[in-house]
Chain A
Amino acid sequence: MAFLDALLNGLTLGGMYALVAMGLTLQYGVARIMNLSYGEFLIAAAFATYWLFQLHAINPLLALFLVVPVAFALNWLIYQVLLNPLVKRSRTRGELEVNSILATFGLLFVIQGLVLLLFGSNYFSYTYINTVVMLAGSPLAMDRLLAVGFAVVIGALLYLALMRTRPGTALRAVSVDPRAAQLVGINVRAASAMAFALGGGLVAASGVLVSMFTTFNASMGVVFTMKALIVVIMGGAGNLLGALAAGLILGLAESFVSTYVAPGLTLAVTFALFLLVLLVRPTGMMGRAEA
């Protein structure tokens, strides 16, 4: 009973982590942008959902179809206008990392500041679905299940798109070696912009879904950025399956530690696991050795 509870809870939690991290793995793995403002986009999407739901009675699942395309377009624009000059300017990958850290750190403040101006610093929360599904005697919250369901669907679609389609292959090629990709006629700039925008769309989607069951305020973006970074790095940058696996492992670890050891140690265990994985495999669970 307790075991099943912990297992199911760990799976939903892990699915959520994977969902939140998927966009970043595209942005960092393919577009090579180390996006520190990632979580602010998630929070912005959560606020947009709140606003649509409370003031315009548009339900969160419908909001998904409004918020995600807008985020996609916005992120594409951000890449073309703000980040591409940095890509051109940077001679090495390390330099681009430093530059993108600096630039997205600035962006973080801008987005957070705008959300603060619009909504203030209060906590926000709303109720959309609060039904429960019973699974072999263990209760599961519907809203979380829905979020995980979406995570699985989105993840599967994305995986198929990357593995089975031509543009997907191009993205993967860019992720492996941008210079070689260029040589075989791939437009690296377009592919990177696409990956960054896709990542932006994904983080917006997770913002919409997460807002259904968490209390959020304007200052909470960094929490999600860090969770996502840890999942992405632990899984191996740019590897979708790695992110999924890392997310699930962290979710399960948190849930089991909370049930069987002590809730006070959940976060410590998360970080310890993460550090341990990196010590054993310095490029993450499914990461390639750096070129």
Chain B
Amino acid sequence: MMARSEIAGALLLCAGIAFFALLPGYVGGYGLSMAINFLMFAILATAWALFSGPTGYVSLATVAFFGIGAYSMAVLGETLPWAAVIAISATIAFVIALLVGLSTLRLRGVYFVIFSFGLAELIRQLVNWYESTHAGSVGRYVFLDISQQQIVWQLTAVLALVLIVGWLIGRSRVGFALRMIGDDETVALHCGINITLIKVMVFALSATFMAVVGAILAPRWTYLDPSIAFNPNISFQVLIMALLGGARRLYGPILGVIPMVLLFEYLSANFPHLFSVLLGITFLAIVYLVPNGVAGLYDTYRRKWRERGVAQPAREGSA
């Protein structure tokens, strides 16, 4: 049986899919660009929160998997069919994430954060070194005739998939176990949960989605090199968006992605030269005024609404 909120969620998901599926008929290149940008971050942030949300392990390795996907497409895109490349990129990311997951089990807190960052940089350096010494050039040209609308459709499908998978995990025993790990790993261990298996599998699953996004987006840039594919800014942006939205809920990251994508766009379109300063100030303001993320804000509203029985919006002061 589904709860009311789940039915609402399913309806919203269908509406969302329909919206993006029909979008290319109505908007021009710029609208599609915006849609791609939104979808890209929505998938990455949701996938990021699949693992990092409930467990509290903050990962900066997003771009490592994104880059692996992008590189798979660049290397194989012209020789293999598109679907095969996507499958290969997903597999590579899955395997690497398994290895990484298994080796980092003992790391906690900031040590894990910086480790994951170091990992992304290591992969980038190795790719760079390999390309320059063995492949004979660092840049790769990706000439695939994939239009913007196809990219929008592909990304929409992936977003739907990641949300459905996230929902399935959330209501399963795995989701329960994940939340328990986040609350207290020792307790979870004593409850007989196979911590290692669950953590590593979910980490690898989230990495798979990230790689698929990279593979889908690569043809859009024509030219790819390690500093484009493994740009650490992507990891940071995803982290920030997911945390801002609220990483402990499935829909949370998307609530962070929407305002951030619009804010980035608004500032770079209207204040290109003050972009940094204004972005920083807005960012600080958000951190102080929306302490529990956008999802938290929504919860606070709903609770107040119920308590008072009247719709009287009030700002929740910081706890």
Contact = CB atoms under 8 A, between A and B. Distances in A.
| Direct chain A–B contact by Cβ atoms under 8 Å | yes
Interface of A: 28, 34, 82, 85-86, 89, 93-94, 97-99, 101-103, 105-114, 116-117, 222, 226, 229-230, 233, 237, 262, 264-265, 267-268, 271-272, 274-275, 278-279, 282-284, 290
A102 B287 contact: yes
Interface string B96-112: 00000001101111110
B291 to A, nearest CB: 6
Contacts of B113: 34, 97
B126 to A, nearest CB: 5
Contacts of B115: 233, 275, 278
A248 B110 CA distance: 22
Contacts of B240: 102, 105
Interface residues of B, number: 48
Given A99-B287, A102-B244, A233 B125 contact: no
Interface in B211-251: 232, 236, 239-240, 243-244
A270 to B, nearest CB: 8
A115 to B, nearest CB: 9
Contact of A117 (B121, B128, B277, B280): B277
Contacts of B108: 282, 290
A109 B277 contact: yes
A255 to B, nearest CB: 17
B92 interface: no
Interface in B245-289: 273-284, 286-288
18 contacts: A34-B110, A89-B291, A97-B58, A97-B110, A102-B243, A106-B279, A106-B282, A106-B287, A112-B276, A113-B276, A229-B117, A262-B129, A265-B129, A271-B122, A272-B122, A278-B115, A284-B111, A290-B109
A109 B279 contact: yes
B133 interface: yes
A243 to B, nearest CB: 13
A97 B111 CA distance: 11
A283 B277 contact: no
A106 B318 contact: no
Contacts of B119: 271, 275
Given A89-B318, A107-B280, A113-B274, A274 B118 contact: yes
Given A226-B121, A264-B132, A268-B129, 4 more contacts: A101-B58, A113-B274, A113-B280, A233-B111
Given A94-B109, A106-B283, A268-B125, A114 B277 contact: yes
B296 interface: no
Q: Per DSSP, are chain B's interface residues mostly helix, strand or loop, or mixed?
A: helix
A117 B275 CA distance: 10
Nearest to A279: B103
Given A264-B132, A275-B122, A226 B117 contact: yes
Contacts of B284: 82, 103, 106-107, 110
Contacts of B243: 98, 101-102
Contacts of A283: 111
**Residue of B279, B280, B286 contacting most chain A CB atoms (<10 Å):** B280
A229 B132 CA distance: 28
Contacts of A226: 117, 121, 232
Nearest to B274: A113
A110 B109 contact: no
Interface string B2-41: 0000000000000000000000000000000000000000
A279 B108 CA distance: 12
A94 B110 CA distance: 9
A268 B122 contact: yes
A268 B120 CA distance: 11
B114 interface: yes
B56 interface: yes
B59 to A, nearest CB: 12
A137 to B, nearest CB: 32
A85 B232 CA distance: 29
B319 interface: yes
Contacts of B104: 278-279
**Residue of A226, A268, A283, A284 contacting most chain B CB atoms (<10 Å):** A268
A265 B127 CA distance: 11
Contacts of B318: 85, 89
A268 B276 contact: no
B164 to A, nearest CB: 27
A264 B277 contact: no
A93 B282 CA distance: 25
A271 B230 CA distance: 15
Contacts of A262: 129, 133
Contacts of A268: 122, 125-126, 129
Nearest to A222: B232
A110 B280 contact: yes
Contacts of B282: 106
Nearest to A88: B318
